Structure 1
Amino acid sequence: MALSEDEDHRRAEKARQVGLFWYALIQDLLDSNLTTRERGVWHGNWRRRNTRIPSAGR
C-alpha cells in the first residue's frame, strides 16, 4: 500500500526534525580540539540535563 504524498511529506519532515535535534546535541563534540576528558565532561553534563527527545515521547 503506497503512502499518500502528505504522509510522505509528514514523515520526511519528522525525520528531518529528529536529525537536526541529534545534530544539535552532538555538534560541540565534533570539535577536533576537544580532549577525551573534555568530551567525557560534556557527556556527563548532557546526561544530567532533562532532554526532550522528539518522537520518543520523552
Structure 2
Amino acid sequence: MAETAHEEDVAHKKSFNLEALSDLQALGLSEHDAKQVINAVYLKKVRHISISY
C-alpha cells in the first residue's frame, strides 16, 4: 500500500513537472534549460519561488 502511494506521488509530481516544462518551453526556453530551471526551483536554489504539488 505504501508503495502504491509512493508511485502515485511520483506520477503526480511528474505530471506537474511536465506541465511546467511545457509552459517554460512555450516561453522560449529550450527543453534543457527548462529542465534546469525546474530542477533549481525544486532544490530551492531560486529564492522566492517554489513548486506546489
User: Please, what TM-score do these two structures have when normalized by structure 2?
Assistant: 0.45
Taking structure 1 as the reference length, the TM-score comes to: 0.43
